Amino acid sequence: MSVNNTSPPVISGTPQQGQTLTSSEGSWTFDLDYLTYAYQWMRCDTAGDNCIDIGSATNRAYVLQSADVGSTIRVEVTATEHTLVGGDELSWAPPTPGAGGVAVVHWTMTNANRMDGALLSGGGRDLVITSGEALTGGVQQLNNWRHIIWIGGKITNTPGSGNNYALPLSHTGTAHIEGLDIRCDGDNIMTRGGSASAIVQIQNCRLNAHIVGAEHADCFQTQGNTQLDELRFDRCTLTTDYQGMFLRLSPSSAFLNGGDVRKLNFRRRNVGSDPQQAFFYLVDEDPDAGHPPGSPIGTFALSDVWAEGSHSSKSSIFYPGWTFQTSVAVPNLGPYSNKEGLFKLTDGTGQYVRPSTTADTVPAGGPASGQQCESAGWTGIIRFGIPPGGDWCPDGVPGMAYVSPGYL
């Protein structure tokens, strides 16, 4: 095993107090499957000697401080090689940036530029994001890009700060979101706009949505005029006290053709008072669009999906239209925990699937009166509790030091 540098890292940026310096990775040769990189920024004398480490300055980007004035700043980049671990590979690889001659924008995301207006102006180009530091608030809408690739990073906002979103997407190709740890007051990842060919694939992520003054708190949401061909999840853990996934299936101005949800588990954060709490919230919000109950536009395959016993609401797994009733007791479901009902045993082990093969419409006068819940295309088992090995995406796996296991 041998790692050798063939081209040293390069520092870019303006050398002035308050400005951000960014280090490249440099070029390396190695023997195993892939490299990860560690960064250490150093403050040196004017000749570039007698360097000392700058405490906690271990990200790819560094904001120059008053103590740096008159000094030379260096960065040490350490490359470590790794072997892929069999069985941990993710289902979907990121798209190839620049394919077909499309221009590529490489963006090092920092707190200084996370709300930059340039992120609103993709112009059909491809966007590749690298996390320069842990973010303390949501990012600008990533608007009008083709492919979006963001692997590794952390977004945490201040509860009650008004940043009631973390990562809004609007693209026409594939958005590949991997290894992100998002913990926000409000919505975590949402889609707006898009196109009939757009795909969102979220892998090895922990999404934690909670209400502290925000109106909504969804781990994932298709919002407004979203147009999305497929939603993909693999090895993710979603924690919520409101809604795990808010999915509009067939309004006249938007659609979600379907999804493939693998190795995903929902955790409950708190028991709230909102009767619409759900892990899956499926809704057609345009009952006047002439789309009657029947075969759904969206078809979803679920595999290795787990839901922790959740809120006091009887519709705590699917809402609206499906009352979560069982023939066995389920913790934390209150008076609804011991009723025969819509979910049916399928494998003799207390596991459940979707209730029927026909679409459901919320009765008039119900909590979402007139909304159509079209879910006939859903297949797969939802298991109660936590996966035997723990969360599909354990705490500490995603974040600034994230290492991708590779792809099948």
User: Consecutive sets of 10 residues in the chain, 408 residues long: mean pLDDT of each?
Assistant: 88 92 89 82 95 89 92 93 78 95 96 95 96 93 96 83 79 97 90 87 94 72 82 94 75 69 85 58 51 50 74 49 40 37 39 38 37 53 77 94 91
Q: Quick one: 33 and 147 in the same domain?
A: no
pLDDT confidence of residue 307: 78
Does residue 94 sit within a domain? no
pLDDT confidence of residue 158: 63
Does residue 21 sit within a domain? yes
pLDDT confidence of residue 218: 87
pLDDT confidence of residue 361: 40
pLDDT confidence of residue 187: 87
Contacts 24+ apart (CB under 8 A), 392-397: 392/235, 392/236, 392/237, 392/263, 392/264, 392/265, 392/304, 392/306, 393/204, 393/205, 393/206, 393/235, 393/236, 393/237, 394/237, 395/206, 397/179, 397/204, 397/206
pLDDT confidence of residue 397: 94
Q: Quick one: 265 and 343 in the same domain?
A: yes
In the chain, what is the straight-line distance between the N-terminal and C-terminal CA atoms, in Å? 24
pLDDT confidence of residue 280: 75
Global confidence as pTM: 0.76
What is the Cα gyration radius of the chain? 23
Q: Quick one: 46 and 103 in the same domain?
A: no
Residue 38: Cβ within 10 Å count: 13
Does residue 168 sit within a domain? yes
pLDDT confidence of residue 247: 80
Does residue 93 sit within a domain? no
pLDDT confidence of residue 249: 59
Does residue 262 sit within a domain? yes
pLDDT confidence of residue 369: 33
Q: Quick one: 226 and 191 in the same domain?
A: yes
Beta bridge partners of 327: none
Q: Quick one: 170 and 66 in the same domain?
A: no
| Containing structural domain, residue 330 | 99-384
pLDDT confidence of residue 106: 95
pLDDT confidence of residue 265: 92
Does residue 390 sit within a domain? no
pLDDT confidence of residue 304: 83
